[in-house]
Structures are given as C-alpha cells and as structure tokens.
Structure 1
Amino acid sequence: MVDEAALNALREAARLSPDNLPLRRHLADLLLAAGRLAEAEAEYQATLLLAPGDPGTGIGLAETFVRQGKNGAAMAALDRILATPGYPPKASVIAARALLGDGDLQAAARHYRDAIVRDPALADPELAARLTGSAPEPAYPGPATPPGGGAPGPTYYPGPAAYPGPATPSGGGTPGPAYPGPAAPPQPAGGWGHGPASAEPTAEVERARTTFADVAGMDSVKEALRMKLLLPIQQPELFKAFGKRSGGGMLLYGPPGSGKTHLARATAGELGAAFINVGLADILDMWTGSSERNLRATFDLARRNRPCILFFDEVDALAARRSDMRQAHSRQIVNQFLAELDGVDQHANEGVLVLAATNAPWYVDVAFRRPGRFDQLVFVPPPDATARAAILFLLCRDKPLGEVDFAQVAKATEGFVGADLKGLVDRAVEAKLHESIRAGRPVPLGTWDLMTAAQTIRPTAVREWLGTARNYVLHSNESGVWDELLPWLRDLR
C-alpha cells in the first residue's frame, strides 16, 4: 500500500517544482505501483513533456498502457526506445506483453527472449506460460552454461513452433543451439493466420426491463437520448417530414461507474427494443479477418432484430486511433467498424440504434465522429447531490427501511458515482444482516447505517479521471468537442 499522505506531499512538491524530472518520475512510479493507472498515465505524460527522450519515463508510460489494455499505445510509446542501441531490456518485456495482447505471439516471444538473454532477472514465468500456451518449462533447454557464458539462465519461451537460436547470441559468445518450443497446434482451415470463412455472433439479444424511471438524475443525457434515438422511432412521420430516419449512433463518455451501461440498457427498455450488449470477447479474435467477420455478424444480428439498441462498451478498444496502431489487422478492425456504421446502403441500419461508451474518448479515432456515425458525444457526469439522493433511494427501495434521510447521506458522498453508491448500500446491508441474524428478525436500514458505510468508502475514480481528462482536453479543444467537460476541469483542484 502506498501512503496517501506521502503521495499528497509528492503531488504538492511536484506542483511547486513542476520541472523537477526525478520528482515527477518518482511520483509516476509510485502511482503505477499502487495500481492508480489513470493518475500514473497523466503523470508520465507530463514527465515526457519535460524529457521526451527519457527511456525510464517511456517504459513506465508503456507499462501503464499495457495494464489498461491499450497495447497499440504502449508500442507507440516504446518505438523510439526500442530503436535505440543498448536500450533497457525491461522495454522488451513490456513490448512482449503489448504484442501478446495484440495477438502477435511470435514477435512477443522474440522480445521476451531478447530481454531474458540480456537480463535473466527479468524472467516472468506467467508471461512465459502465456507465450507457450502451457506451464513454463522447469529447466533451461540447452547447455548448463547459456550462450555467451555466465550463470545458467531461465527457460526460453518461444512461439508455437521450434524457435531457432540466433547466429550470434545477444552479448556475443559462441552461437547457441536452437531453443525448442512446444509442439505447434493443429493448423486451422484456411492456413495459419486465417479464421473460419463465416462467423456466428456470440453476443445475445436481451429484452431490457429497466427504463429511464430507473435512472436517477442525468436529465440532459436522457433528453439527448430521446431526441437522437427514441423519438425518430416513436414518431416516425414527424421526423420523416424533416428527412430524418431512425438509426444513428451516440457515444457516451465519462468516469468509470457513472452509469453509462445502465443508461444504454434503460434506453432499450424505454423503447421496448431488443438490446445487444457487445463485449470485446464477442468481437476480437486471434485469427486474421475473424474480428472483422464477428463485427459484421453482430451488426447483422441487430438488423434482424430491429428496432434494436446495439451497445459497445469500452469502445476505445475497438475504435482506437489508427495512427496509434502498429498492426495492420488492428486498423482493419477499425475500418470494418466504420463500414458497418455506414451500412451497406443508406437504409441498411435503419432501426438499428448504436450506442457506445468509453472512459477514454480521446483515444477514439476521429473518423467515428463524422456525421452518420458517433456524431454526438454526450458527457455522462458524476451525479450531483440531488441525483445521489435519488440513486440511494432507488438502491434501497426493495430493502427493509426505517427512518432514512437520503439527502443527508448524499451530502456526505461528494464525488461518489453510481457504482460507489451501490457499494455503499451493499456494505450497509451486510452490516445490517449481521445485526438481523443476531436479532432473529429483519432490522431496517437507517440513516446512521448508510452514513457509517459512507465513512469506509473513499472514491477516487472521478478525480483520477478528471485529472487524466484535463491533460488531453485543455490543449486540444479547438473544435469545441469537449466544451461539456470544461466546467468540471476548471473546478478541479
């Protein structure tokens, strides 16, 4: 655990001495070690502005990206480092993790092998097992003394076929033998790197039971959803008179836990439409071309069930900026996504309402904001005190209640998002269950129970997210696309 007081002291020192590179690096490293990835990313980015060529900062930023699943951004951060002779071997380990996340097994194995040849202390059995698809080998598959001399090193974990040793091992010495990997898996139909010719969607069609009545606050967001998505289907003749058809897309963005998925499901319930919640596992596939076919199959599923809300959560993973991508197949996924949003013809997506959500809208390729795609970005803000009281009421309405002053609890939960409030209620209920078991009867929740639970929860998501947003938004808002965010950023201390 990182001492919060120490972090605050470092933040204050960095504020007073913003050009102190070692201090900023140390703060970023501590945030990364604490798992506070959004804050660490922002601090590394600020440090890179001071020293763009500092390899330690670049490696730290790349590790932050990898741990957030932003593998293309990680490789972009490592590009210059990996091109520098004698670069730190840790950069190769981070590159191996990023490439493995992108499905490039051979390149990942090559980078990992390079790292442990140069520094055996960097051996990572878990990463090695993922590279081989099996448990790590217990022994070094070669001579007792590794190529180039020195103490015996760890096992090499190459790709799915036998991995030939280099003509001259890193660091010099006598050429070493081949380092065999596990047996290659059966070759798929169509050859290596190609998936099946057709795809069946793995996403499922739901019928949402929640409506806007189950969503507290967020009136402006609900009104935007009504005008963009609901009313064109509910009043088609009126919209047809103005040349507007049902269909189109909207991108919801905001801090984690602010209720974006809940809003999407409530939109489908409000309309009585089918709802398809698309996860990354429903789309991404290791075989070239399969991800694109999965996208096509998912859109076709929505077209067969129209009117339908097609919801993509964490859409930045599927719609990332192509300029940040190193792999051609990743760019092809983005191109396919854009083509599906446009539809095969102008009527193909009529009645298919595409909603997407992200915590990192600045990573979404700008092409998705073109009219007819995600042309409307809607900020889903943290709830204010009135909305927090309403959320607490909705969360508690099916539980035994005594005297509860929800407004008082709302005042004590400044900075809480919907997910935090749910955690608060769950914690209060757990404590009340223990009391009820002892009493032999249900003991109702009261204000004191919720206030006590509120003292045990310390939300950080909103401030972390706003801190990250500030670094991206304040210097790139020429088009005014982030105007909704500016009041929140100005109030950030």
Structure 2
Amino acid sequence: MSADSPLIVSLRTAVSAAPQDVPLRLHLAQLLLDAGHVDAAVAEVAIALQHAPGDAQARELMGRAMGMPPAPQAPAEPKPQAPAAPGSQAPGAPQGFDWHAAEDQVGDAVPPRFVEAPLAEDGSGDPGDAEAWDVEDTAAPGAVRLADVGGMQDVKDRLEAAFLAPLRNPELRKLYGKSLRGGLLLYGPPGCGKTFIARAVAGELGAGFLSVSVNDVLDMWIGNSERNMHEVFETARRQAPCVVFLDELDALGGKRSRTQSSGMRNTVNQLLTELDGVDAAANEGVFVLAATNVPWDVDLALRRPGRFDRTLLVLPPDAPAREAILRYHLRERPIENIDLGKLAKATEGLSGADLAHVCEVAAESALLDSARTGTVRMIGMKDLLGAVKQTVPSADPWFASARNVAMYANEGGTYDDLVTYLKKKRKL
C-alpha cells in the first residue's frame, strides 16, 4: 500500500483532527508499517506513546518497527508485579529492546514533552537564575572608555582625582595604605549620562561591569531580595576586578526611616552588609558605583565613610559634549549643511536624552515632509532648530527641587558642587 493511498490519507486527516485518539493513530501506524513506511510508522507510534506510555499495542508496534521479535504471550492470570524501577525493562516490551536508542531515533520527529523545569513554590529554580548576573567584559575590543565621553572635562578630572588615579598606581596605593575598596555616587538630573560614565569607568579600569537595577533585586517573596543582593556581590567578588553599578540607588537604598515595608528595610540592611564585606579584604577588587537623581533620599548610612563617601555631580552636557552627542545621533541619518557648533549653542541646558529627542523630531519632520511631497529630502538645520524650539529641558524640574536642597539641606558641604553650579547659572 502506498503512503498516498486514499485510506492512509483519510486516516492522516482523521488523526490531525483528533490528535489525542491513540487507537486511531496506532491504526495509521499499523497501515504504514505494513506498507513498508517504517520511519513514518515509528514517528506515529512515538507520539502515541507520549499520550499513553503504557499502551501494550503501541509498545508492540514500536518493537516491530525497530526489528525486534514479538513479545511473548502473557499468562492468562498474571501475578501482580511491583512497579518497574527506572531504566528497567517495561512490561510487555520486547526482550532486549533499547528504548533509549528508539527515543534518540525519533527525537527529531517528536518534540520534547517538557521544555523547562517547574519553579519552586518560593519562585526559585528559574533556569534563568544561573545567568541572571552576567558580567560584561570591558577589556574586549570596542568597550567604552572615558575618551568616548564627549566633553564633560570637569567630570573626567574629578573621576581621575577621586577614583581612578589611586587605582592606576598600585605601588603608591600600597605605600599610602590605600585599599582597593571604593564607592562613588553619581548624582544629577535624569538623562545626563550617569550610566554611560559608569560603564566608561569600568572600561578605564579594565574591570568587569555588572549593572544592577531595582527590578533585578526586589522580589515578592520574603528573603529573596536580600539573597539577590548577596548574589550580586558574590558574583562580583568571584570575578574581581569588577565594577558593580547600582542604578537608581534611592530605590534600592532609600531612607529606612521613611520605609514602611520591613522587606525594603532588610534589603537596605543587606546592601550595607555587602558594602562593608565580611572582613577588610572581602571586597578587594570590587568597585561600587551608584547613580541617583535624588541623593537626598538615599539612606544616610550609605553615605558614611567607607561606603558611598565620594559623590560626583553629573550635569547636563557642556558644548563639546552636546556636539559629540548630536554627531552620534545624526551619524546614520540623511543630513546636509549641518552646523554642529551653532546647534550646540542653541541646545544649552538640554540633557543627552533631550538631544536624542531633538534628532528624532527633526527626522520625523523631514520624513513627513517627504511623504507629503513624494520627494525624499535631507534633514537640514531648519528641521533641527525647529525641533530645539519644541523641546523643553527635562532637567528644569530637577533643578527646581535641587535648589531647595542646596539652600536648606547642605550640611557638611555635601552639595557644594551643586551650589556652585546654581550660582553660576543664577538659579540660586
């Protein structure tokens, strides 16, 4: 009988309509086997065994298809038998039949029944947990360095003096007893490149880069948030030298006095423990950087010496930085006669995110114009300057809040850099 015979075709159609019908599928497999289509028969029997693993007819058909002799007849009144141990011969199966070999043979034709292990009741056991803390290799070609940060020379100088210089001179560090432990808090308005700078610092050190956000740590199950925080630092210690970057530190380490949740307080406590290390050398080679828009909301214990005792204000990009950012966002767009110097002056006060938005709006204007006229045109200065007029500096609300802090909450001179900037810009 041919595989295209009307009976086999009809049975295939019926099996497709009722895939759970084991007897119907086995009848199709029987006809295929009798017609000499062994591979097709094996595939059908394998699917039937997925639905009914103990079906004697399916096992007998599989044995025939694999060239094994038929199973001996069972006695009329079989005695009760104990359940077969894993890997032992299945009841009714041909003697010597290798089920593992049969499973391998039909592996390409039959999909696996289970693709991942179930989670435990507390949410652990996720197959992705093992890869949850991937450390980026900043020594690889193309990694970001401080030279890739356009402008912002003041920020680079402060980074060099407060953080990088001691780490680049191990002999002087040893002479003066300077530990490799260190914490630096980057703060400022949103969209000004704090994360990019942290990645560049890791590149300068040739260290691994482990970025952590609030979503990576916080968990609904009691105790899991603390465990996640511990695993972050354990990963960094194993792969030292490594930069741990804690984004939105105010969310991970907010003031405990304002926190109603005991879980959040415990998470802050765990962070404090990890920053201190089990002993003096536990965090050697682990550099902790953090970023926040609201440093005044960070728990005071995190700001004491030995933790995030150094702060760096990251302001909206200066003119050279704005020019570099605009060049980057326009590099793959069709442009003509763009005066970056003039555009950089016109965008004073805009953050890096604002500048990216300006380029998007300008491109959208040119695109819509091209769609209306049916003629593709380039992006010009008129598009970009028009986009600048439509863009409100996103940092202005931040400076309005920061002004109150600079005036009334600058105990110990923590925000002297911010006060200097506000006075320079006549915002104080």
Q: Same fold (TM over 0.5)?
A: yes
Q: CA deviation at 1:437?
A: 7.5
Q: Does 1:355 align with 2:285?
A: no
Report the AA paired with residue 485 of structure 1. L
Tell me the equivalent position of 1:457. Answer: 391
Q: 1:188 to 1:401 in 2, by over 3 A?
A: closer
Tell me the equivalent position of 1:479. Answer: 412
Report the AA paired with residue 492 of structure 1. K
Tell me the equivalent position of 1:492. Answer: 427
Q: Does 1:260 align with 2:194?
A: yes
Tell me the equivalent position of 1:373. Answer: 307
C-alpha distance in structure 1 between counterparts of 2:376 and 2:144, whole Å: 28
C-alpha distance in structure 1 between counterparts of 2:353 and 2:388, whole Å: 13
Report the AA paired with residue 483 of structure 1. D
C-alpha distance in structure 2 between counterparts of 1:307 and 1:254, whole Å: 27
Q: CA deviation at 1:365?
A: 0.9
Q: 1:311 to 1:248 in 2, by over 3 A?
A: same
The correspondence of residues 39-438 of structure 1 with structure 2, limited to 5 A, is: 202-208=132-138, 209-433=143-367
Q: CA deviation at 1:255?
A: 0.5
Q: 1:293 to 1:220 in 2, by over 3 A?
A: same
TM-superposition CA deviations, 1:392-435 (whole Å, max 9, x none)? 22333444443221121122223210000011112223344556
C-alpha distance in structure 1 between counterparts of 2:197 and 2:224, whole Å: 30
Q: CA deviation at 1:351?
A: 1.4
1:217 counterpart SS class: coil
C-alpha distance in structure 1 between counterparts of 2:378 and 2:171, whole Å: 51
Q: CA deviation at 1:258?
A: 1.0
The root-mean-square deviation of aligned C-alpha atoms, in Å, is 2.9
Preserved CA contact (<8 Å) 2:211 2:246:
yes
Report the AA paired with residue 249 of structure 1. G
Q: 1:197 to 1:442 in 2, by over 3 A?
A: closer
Q: Structure 2 unaligned runs (5+)? A: 1-118
C-alpha distance in structure 2 between counterparts of 1:413 and 1:451, whole Å: 9
C-alpha distance in structure 1 between counterparts of 2:136 and 2:279, whole Å: 26
1:426 counterpart SS class: helix
TM-superposition CA deviations, 1:272-319 (whole Å, max 9, x none)? 321111011111011221111100000111112222111111110111
**Identity, % of aligned pairs?**
48
Report the AA paired with residue 221 of structure 1. V
Q: Which piece of structure 1 moves more, 272-281 or 350-359? A: 272-281
Report the AA paired with residue 137 of structure 2. R
Q: 1:371 to 1:384 in 2, by over 3 A?
A: same
Q: 1:188 to 1:402 in 2, by over 3 A?
A: closer
C-alpha distance in structure 2 between counterparts of 1:438 and 1:304, whole Å: 58
Q: CA deviation at 1:471?
A: 2.4
Preserved CA contact (<8 Å) 2:256 2:299:
yes
Preserved CA contact (<8 Å) 1:215 1:391:
no
Instruction: Please tell me whether Structure 1 or Structure 2 has the larger radius of gyration of its CA atoms.
Output: 2
C-alpha distance in structure 2 between counterparts of 1:235 and 1:432, whole Å: 52
Q: 1:485 to 1:195 in 2, by over 3 A?
A: same
Report the AA paired with residue 360 of structure 1. V
1:249 counterpart SS class: strand
C-alpha distance in structure 1 between counterparts of 2:225 and 2:217, whole Å: 5
Q: CA deviation at 1:455?
A: 2.2
C-alpha distance in structure 2 between counterparts of 1:249 and 1:442, whole Å: 51
Preserved CA contact (<8 Å) 1:264 1:311:
yes
Report the AA paired with residue 132 of structure 2. T
C-alpha distance in structure 2 between counterparts of 1:201 and 1:360, whole Å: 31
C-alpha distance in structure 2 between counterparts of 1:212 and 1:442, whole Å: 38
1:389 counterpart SS class: helix
C-alpha distance in structure 2 between counterparts of 1:224 and 1:346, whole Å: 26
Q: Structure 1 unaligned runs (5+)? A: 1-186
Tell me the equivalent position of 1:51. Answer: none
Number of aligned residue pairs: 303
TM-score (norm 2): 0.64
1:276 counterpart SS class: strand
Q: 1:475 to 1:201 in 2, by over 3 A?
A: farther
Report the AA paired with residue 217 of structure 1. G
